[in-house]
Structure 1
């Protein structure tokens, strides 16, 4: 299976060498050969055509770790991808050579109690593209289980197919938080995940969405994507009391659900204090591995605090939201690069530097 792919050797028909972007060390990416395993009967071989850089990829690139996931040996990076099927296993009946697909990057065991309950995203044996020790998908070709490859409609591009992965985070969060037509939403953080959460909340019917960030450019982006109001807060977050008053005044309504798409002590504190009694706080961001927060501020007002980890059963809905035009992710793609050594390095530096980059996309 794809999680066992290893460095070296050749892959592809006729001895064509399969190349991938290997993370060798801090800020050290090298395009080198990537040997693919034999195609299993339930697998497909996909020529990767588009791949987006995720925040977790940037953490791995900058520090060789993301939260508790630590890169201990060279690893192919990347997981937000779509491509074209080049070969199918002998028992694959639902997909055919030449079809365009979006790939769900996590392979669960399908045997543990969490998988059997449908909560496969929490599987302790999950093998996830580009999450150590599993190799990722920034490569010419990958082998992946057919059941995790979803056909794209004619009016959904391969770039949009790759965007199903980050969009799935927003969709899963909105499902967990029960967003509906009577749910006013506050989103803390307007990076890529905050923005897809905004798009998902709108698609789920949220009547009012307010976005908070320290970055004026990203807030203007959120406004263009449909945020009702945006609030710029101080970079040191020392004026939380005043900022809370500003957020509540700007909202002009009760906040029923707050999504923390950052994950710092003070952003979670802000979320707990800004949310209306009886509301919900959904933790998406993973900036800190350990936090100290004033939970009594939420407990005394019966605030439900919930976490999300990746997503589950989201690709069909994401594809349908794109197909019907209920969500448009194309404006999020701000930078595009090819698949050469220089462009791979430049793409990751662009994404890591922040600035005006929202979603950096490779076109292989």
Structure 2
């Protein structure tokens, strides 16, 4: 509508990618909640596709999180501040920000103890029933939006979300300059865990996967050794010997970034006395694994869920160049009906698609 006639211009309609049914996404209007005094409105610019997004897309669920009604998808995101609430002092319109997608209650004992990632009342972008970030605009608390340095792109800002999983895992496992690391799985989280472990000073990192292409990718990113394995659990014994030989028997921390019966069994079996196994991937809800033998060697088993207090660390790693996530962004798509469908199908196929990113 023209302004020349003295009328206000038509307000832009906010659009978002709604998950309606199995493998059914549609760009439709998205009415945002009102802007609170401590909130900001963020114009999304970069949104990545996560493995959990793919699970929702293919099955309408991820683990125990079930999509029961239409939901805006996506949670790996960065954008530009479009509007600020009346009490916001830390951000200004036009600031480029990476967005931490989970809002905890702030009142439960876990939140008060600083373990807010475990909050039972967490409202997390794109995790049912909370709407996500694959939209033109979202409203979010200002305290969960982190200003990006000039030398960190919006795509890199969106990568702070999956990188946060890796950083949190390394913090939980206390990775440092004396820590030799084994990583099961060379998918996006496994690769990011490798980059994070290196940034924390790990001197030796061995990557294990069934896929030769992914292992080659890991080697190019800086893995010291790569080992290709089978999917057959009967091969664990032989493969553990290969892993221990590659690491001279010094596995201080094993990260299972897959979460299958075989990968966890391998990690537990390959980790010597006094080591740690960090469970990152959640591929299976139940497993049969050799815990008794691991317990007898005083192997510590550590779980992680998402992350906490990681965005400043991630941004500093990106700013300093200690971590370069750009090679992981292998596919880019626009925010159109045709391209969102193609992007999710591409991510679901896997293959050479490591991180699929939308430019909005």
TM-score range, shorter chain: over 0.9
Deviations 1:1-47, CA, capped at 9 Å, x for gaps: xxxxxxxxxxxx94211010001111111111100111100000000
Match of 2:306 among 282, 303, 310: 310
- Give the structure 1 partner of residue 335 of structure 2: 339
C-alpha separation in 2, matches of 1:238 and 1:80:
37
C-alpha separation in 2, matches of 1:117 and 1:235:
40
Match of 1:131 among 127, 130, 136: 127
For the pair 1:260 / 2:256, whether they are aligned, the reply is yes
Deviations 1:139-188, CA, capped at 9 Å, x for gaps: 00000000000000000000000000000000000000000111100000
- Give the structure 1 partner of residue 19 of structure 2: 23
* TM-score normalised according to structure 1 size: 0.96
Match of 2:284 among 282, 285, 288: 288
- Give the structure 2 partner of residue 112 of structure 1: 108
C-alpha separation in 2, matches of 1:295 and 1:38:
50
- Give the structure 2 partner of residue 39 of structure 1: 35
Structure 1: state its 5+ residue gaps: 1-12
Match of 1:63 among 50, 55, 59: 59
Deviations 1:293-313, CA, capped at 9 Å, x for gaps: 121121110000010000000
Q: Does structure 1 conserve the Cα–Cα contact (< 8 Å) formed by 2:249 and 2:272?
A: no
- Give the structure 2 partner of residue 95 of structure 1: 91
Offset, 1:290: 1.3
Q: 1:229-248, aligned counterparts within 5 Å?
A: 229-248=225-244
Q: 1:165-244, aligned counterparts within 5 Å?
A: 165-244=161-240
What secondary structure, in the 3-state scheme, does the structure 2 residue paired with 1:181 have? coil
Match of 1:357 among 335, 353, 359: 353
Q: Does structure 2 conserve the Cα–Cα contact (< 8 Å) formed by 1:184 and 1:253?
A: no
Q: Does structure 1 conserve the Cα–Cα contact (< 8 Å) formed by 2:231 and 2:262?
A: no
Deviations 1:67-109, CA, capped at 9 Å, x for gaps: 1111111110000000000000000000000000000000000
C-alpha separation in 1, matches of 2:82 and 2:132:
18
Offset, 1:266: 1.3
C-alpha separation in 2, matches of 1:316 and 1:251:
32
Count of residues in Structure 1 that have an aligned counterpart in Structure 2: 352
Offset, 1:235: 3.0
C-alpha separation in 2, matches of 1:69 and 1:161:
26
C-alpha separation in 1, matches of 2:298 and 2:46:
44
C-alpha separation in 2, matches of 1:345 and 1:235:
30
Q: Does structure 2 conserve the Cα–Cα contact (< 8 Å) formed by 1:68 and 1:289?
A: no
| Aligned CA-pair RMSD | 0.9
What secondary structure, in the 3-state scheme, does the structure 1 residue paired with 2:234 have? coil
- Give the structure 1 partner of residue 3 of structure 2: none
C-alpha separation in 1, matches of 2:92 and 2:343:
32
C-alpha separation in 2, matches of 1:253 and 1:362:
42
C-alpha separation in 2, matches of 1:284 and 1:230:
19
Deviations 1:211-251, CA, capped at 9 Å, x for gaps: 00000111011111111000000133431111111111122
C-alpha separation in 2, matches of 1:238 and 1:332:
32
For the pair 1:80 / 2:76, whether they are aligned, the reply is yes
Offset, 1:289: 1.0
